[in-house]
Chains A and B, each alone.
Chain A
């Protein structure tokens, strides 16, 4: 394959250009990408700032959850301690686990992506800066509110996987569980927003010439990570939604006495929960694969194998969820192959570990701060991996399940697989964003304390577990032989905490934020693009990438980039912009105009958080008002985008001309919408799985569904909605401006169809009658929600076309509305038939 888009690769040979660049170009860039002042920090969307805010907030949650861990360890230091009463202990371990997993681990790596990816790919920013800002604020406001529930004693206490029936209204009557369900459901939305940003960013904004085989490993890791979020998180969003509905309206999804099934929760949760572990691990592994070659001063061994291993991890991690359910009583056939798959999943992780060891072995490794943490990570992670293979063996798991052996295992994997790589990464990349590097001398202490502390804290837990100590107990009796082990664990936890404290002190002394110029720079001598000299606009010009370590292979590249001898040495349109490239070979396709700072993402995020909080405390009017404000803020923010641009084509350097606007399947907006549709389709597929699952497990509660004959007209109606959406795009491209009308009508008709369907089902079944009723009406409600959003889309499209903002060439909004409304019809069509088919 010589060219993907028809772009002639010979054009790359015009770079680096030779002529002098006029000095006002750089000034222009600086003015357009200017730094915020005062209150403007709240409205920034530039990834340099949002990334650092994001990282800082996630790290704050690490510290908060860490304090909770210390509290638990104090309570468990000796038998019958009275530091935390039982009920508080339950809240504390639940919050510790939940905050670590949802508010620290995932956001932390997502934030690292937001900060690092544009630099590594030499883009000016990620393609949807306002979406990043929204994701960050939603997470920060929502997360802090969620954490605060602990101070009023209302924190969730059902463990980080919140199994019903324990978390059902009957056994958890307070609003504690609602905090979890709504809080986490909401934070996952922010994670998905970030994932969309990352996928489109990695596939479409790489520097020209950076074909997939030259992409930095971290970008590969983030790509797989984000795709996994898109597939996995809908499942937990749906699960939390269903459990919340069960609690609020008494629909019995999980109540076995009424035709629901608590095991359904476990399937939905772990279909997300296991991939979650790899979602956390992969980006950290990507960081390791970036740091190790630099530390070892040689190329990474087995780049291709690592890419393969990452993709393999992504796929197989979706096929092992039931290994968390070996003690539930699954059918033997299921148990057999989930056990086999769980052993297989250690292979790709093994490949990566061997590549790292090989790289360290053939290079000339330096044991500086990142080097030490990388090494520590390998040791700890491998230990955790070994106990992982042990618990993949079903008979062993029957013994170890719900004991401290599991607590030991999961912390070895998480701390070795994520926390240590993260610390390596912080030491490694802080010089990129701070004017001073961290102290190497102190780092030795930080590492020593953390490494020793980790092992002293968690090694004895294996033993305590094997000796029968269950997890999630607030105390234990003397004389069970666990006293000494627990005391040692507590000492270890404090050693670890001292390490982190030292790190904080170092951070306070040396971290001086310098997101634009003036950072400490490439102190470790790395070879990838994020170490090019940057300012707030990222690199002065965007280089042509010819190898995986451009800085090692072309010693002049930094200077050439800095002098503007590559792509886009100026702002071609006078606005914020970056080059959008093709997904495989990264050939330049067009210039994307990026939105600037705005207060609307912040407003939308705050009111989204209020909306969910209001639902939790049952302040429905306030919730409604917040919801309306959120929608208005989002529409306002959207209305500023997709505007006509004066020049149709611009010179992006060396006389290469590209368009400034793109619609249809090649545009970045289209890609984001398609990903959003995948998210919605996953939610809907999971809901349908739920219905089928209940049918096969609770056949006694099944009533004959609404008649298929009655459903066919509705299905046909949905079919027409799809047809209208498809033909509208097509007609509009042929210059028919009236073609907007049918899709507007279709958007308005979809909710009517849903309403008809609901009426028809109401005659047969009530939502609170049985598991079947609950599941059917859940599918209908989801359809109603999608249809309602479709109406918003239609209204927005109508408004824009009245204002004359939809033209035969400037029709991105039309495309996106057609996509969405078409999707809405398709989902309705499938749902109408499916609900009637199950158990007919």
Chain B
């Protein structure tokens, strides 16, 4: 379980964000909600990054797992920002 969380953590945050955005727009359109969700997801990604950076890894697999997780979190951070942009700019 922990391994999957590390590997997929960033992606899960990203998923929560884009489905959240869709649900907000479909059922309760509001820019405030979008911005709030975006900030929450950014915090989640940053927290993930910190957690992974502090994680000690000696075995090859653990290192691999961590590096995939960190890259995923960075990707997710960018994506969340990018997808929040249209609303934040409007």
Which A residues fall within an 8 A CB radius of B? 1-2, 211-213, 304-305, 307-308, 311-312, 315-316, 318-319, 322, 331, 333-334, 336-337, 339-341, 344, 584-585, 692-693, 696
Q: Which residues of A contact B86 (CB under 8 A)?
A: 333, 336-337, 339-340
- Report yes or no: B79 in contact with A316, Cβ–Cβ below 8 A: yes
- Report yes or no: B87 in contact with A315, Cβ–Cβ below 8 A: no
Bound-state CA distance A1–B66 (Å) is 12
Q: Which residues of B contact A341 (CB under 8 A)?
A: 18, 79, 83
Bound-state CA distance A706–B79 (Å) is 42
**Closest Cβ neighbor of B14 among chain A residues:** A315
Bound-state CA distance A832–B21 (Å) is 27
Q: Which residues of B contact A339 (CB under 8 A)?
A: 86
Bound-state CA distance A705–B5 (Å) is 39
**Closest Cβ neighbor of A351 among chain B residues:** B75
- Report yes or no: B15 in contact with A333, Cβ–Cβ below 8 A: no
Bound-state CA distance A308–B67 (Å) is 10
- Report yes or no: B71 in contact with A308, Cβ–Cβ below 8 A: yes
For the complex, is B47 an interface residue (Cβ under 8 Å from A)?
no
27 contacts between A and B (CB under 8 A): A1-B3, A1-B61, A212-B61, A213-B60, A213-B64, A213-B65, A304-B64, A304-B67, A307-B68, A308-B72, A308-B75, A311-B7, A312-B72, A315-B11, A315-B14, A315-B15, A316-B14, A316-B79, A319-B15, A319-B22, A333-B24, A333-B86, A334-B26, A337-B25, A339-B86, A340-B83, A344-B79
- Report yes or no: B67 in contact with A333, Cβ–Cβ below 8 A: no
- Report yes or no: B90 in contact with A312, Cβ–Cβ below 8 A: no
For the complex, is B85 an interface residue (Cβ under 8 Å from A)?
yes
Please judge, given known A-B contacts A307-B68, A340-B82, whether A312 and B11 are in contact too, CB under 8 Å.
yes
Bound-state CA distance A333–B25 (Å) is 6
Q: State which of B8, B29, B60, B84 has its C-beta within 8 Å of the C-beta of A311.
A: B8
Q: Which residues of A contact B59 (CB under 8 A)?
A: 1-2
Bound-state CA distance A2–B90 (Å) is 51
B48 to chain A, nearest CB (A): 15
- Report yes or no: B68 in contact with A304, Cβ–Cβ below 8 A: yes
Bound-state CA distance A305–B68 (Å) is 8
Bound-state CA distance A217–B59 (Å) is 21
**Closest Cβ neighbor of A314 among chain B residues:** B11
Q: Which residues of A contact B24 (CB under 8 A)?
A: 333
Bound-state CA distance A316–B65 (Å) is 21
**Closest Cβ neighbor of B24 among chain A residues:** A333
Bound-state CA distance A344–B14 (Å) is 12
Q: Which residues of A contact B71 (CB under 8 A)?
A: 304-305, 308
Q: Which residues of B contact A211 (CB under 8 A)?
A: 61
What are the interface flags for B40-76 relative to A under an 8 Å C-beta threshold, 1 for contact and 0 otherwise?
0000000000000000000111101101100110010
Bound-state CA distance A75–B12 (Å) is 48
A204 to chain B, nearest CB (A): 15
Q: Which residues of B contact A305 (CB under 8 A)?
A: 71
- Report yes or no: B29 in contact with A333, Cβ–Cβ below 8 A: yes
Report whether over half of chain B's contact residues are helix, strand or loop; otherwise say mixed: helix
For the complex, is B34 an interface residue (Cβ under 8 Å from A)?
yes
**Closest Cβ neighbor of B90 among chain A residues:** A336
Bound-state CA distance A308–B79 (Å) is 14
Q: Which residues of B contact A311 (CB under 8 A)?
A: 7-8, 11, 72
**Closest Cβ neighbor of B64 among chain A residues:** A213
Q: Which residues of B contact A213 (CB under 8 A)?
A: 60-61, 64-65
Q: Which residues of A contact B83 (CB under 8 A)?
A: 319, 337, 340-341, 344
Please judge, given known A-B contacts A213-B64, A304-B67, A312-B11, whether A340 and B85 are in contact too, CB under 8 Å.
yes
- Report yes or no: A693 in contact with B26, Cβ–Cβ below 8 A: yes
Bound-state CA distance A629–B65 (Å) is 48
14 more CB-based (< 8 A) A-B contacts, given A213-B60, A333-B31:
A1-B3, A1-B62, A2-B59, A211-B61, A212-B65, A304-B68, A322-B22, A333-B24, A334-B25, A336-B87, A337-B83, A337-B87, A340-B82, A344-B82
**Closest Cβ neighbor of B75 among chain A residues:** A312
A643 to chain B, nearest CB (A): 32
Bound-state CA distance A462–B84 (Å) is 32
Q: Which residues of B contact A693 (CB under 8 A)?
A: 26
B78 to chain A, nearest CB (A): 8
Bound-state CA distance A693–B27 (Å) is 8
Query: 6 shortest A-B CB distances, which residue pairs?
Result: A336-B86, A319-B18, A213-B64, A334-B25, A333-B25, A315-B11
Q: Which residues of A contact B65 (CB under 8 A)?
A: 1, 212-213
Bound-state CA distance A585–B59 (Å) is 12
A133 to chain B, nearest CB (A): 31
- Report yes or no: B75 in contact with A318, Cβ–Cβ below 8 A: no
Bound-state CA distance A172–B61 (Å) is 57
Bound-state CA distance A692–B3 (Å) is 35
Bound-state CA distance A316–B19 (Å) is 10
Task: Among A331, A336, A584, find the residue whose CB has the most chain B CB atoms closer than 10 A.
Answer: A336
A335 to chain B, nearest CB (A): 8
Q: State which of B15, B18, B67 has its C-beta within 8 Å of the C-beta of A337.
A: B18
Bound-state CA distance A748–B84 (Å) is 49
B11 to chain A, nearest CB (A): 5
Q: Which residues of A contact B75 (CB under 8 A)?
A: 308, 312
A102 to chain B, nearest CB (A): 26
- Report yes or no: A584 in contact with B87, Cβ–Cβ below 8 A: no
Bound-state CA distance A322–B83 (Å) is 14
**Closest Cβ neighbor of B63 among chain A residues:** A213
**Closest Cβ neighbor of A334 among chain B residues:** B25
**Closest Cβ neighbor of A3 among chain B residues:** B59
Bound-state CA distance A296–B14 (Å) is 35
Bound-state CA distance A339–B87 (Å) is 12
Q: State which of A304, A316, A318, A585 has its C-beta within 8 Å of the C-beta of B61.
A: A585
A195 to chain B, nearest CB (A): 18
B58 to chain A, nearest CB (A): 9
Q: Which residues of B contact A336 (CB under 8 A)?
A: 86-87, 90
**Closest Cβ neighbor of A305 among chain B residues:** B71
Bound-state CA distance A121–B38 (Å) is 41
Bound-state CA distance A211–B79 (Å) is 29
Please judge, given known A-B contacts A1-B61, A1-B62, A340-B85, whether A696 and B79 are in contact too, CB under 8 Å.
no
**Closest Cβ neighbor of B85 among chain A residues:** A340
Please judge, given known A-B contacts A304-B68, A304-B71, whether A333 and B34 are in contact too, CB under 8 Å.
yes
Bound-state CA distance A334–B20 (Å) is 11
**Closest Cβ neighbor of B21 among chain A residues:** A337
Q: Which residues of B contact A334 (CB under 8 A)?
A: 22, 25-26
Bound-state CA distance A693–B75 (Å) is 31
**Closest Cβ neighbor of A319 among chain B residues:** B18
Bound-state CA distance A211–B19 (Å) is 32
Bound-state CA distance A696–B27 (Å) is 6
Bound-state CA distance A312–B72 (Å) is 8
Bound-state CA distance A213–B68 (Å) is 10
Bound-state CA distance A212–B63 (Å) is 12
Task: Among B19, B79, B90, find the residue whose CB has the most chain A CB atoms closer than 10 A.
Answer: B79
Please judge, given known A-B contacts A308-B68, A311-B11, whether A331 and B85 are in contact too, CB under 8 Å.
no
Task: Among B14, B29, B83, find the residue whose CB has the most chain A CB atoms closer than 10 A.
Answer: B83
- Report yes or no: A331 in contact with B29, Cβ–Cβ below 8 A: yes
A234 to chain B, nearest CB (A): 16
Q: Which residues of A contact B61 (CB under 8 A)?
A: 1, 211-213, 584-585
Bound-state CA distance A349–B82 (Å) is 17
**Closest Cβ neighbor of A312 among chain B residues:** B75
Bound-state CA distance A278–B60 (Å) is 31
Bound-state CA distance A693–B25 (Å) is 12
Bound-state CA distance A318–B14 (Å) is 11
Q: Which residues of B contact A331 (CB under 8 A)?
A: 25-26, 29
Q: Which residues of A contact B84 (CB under 8 A)?
A: 337
B70 to chain A, nearest CB (A): 10
Task: Among B3, B26, B59, B87, find the residue whose CB has the most chain A CB atoms closer than 10 A.
Answer: B26
Bound-state CA distance A203–B71 (Å) is 22
Bound-state CA distance A1–B25 (Å) is 43
Q: Which residues of B contact A333 (CB under 8 A)?
A: 24-25, 29, 31, 34, 86-87, 90
Q: Which residues of B contact A312 (CB under 8 A)?
A: 11, 72, 75
Bound-state CA distance A543–B90 (Å) is 58
Q: Which residues of B contact A1 (CB under 8 A)?
A: 3, 59, 61-62, 65
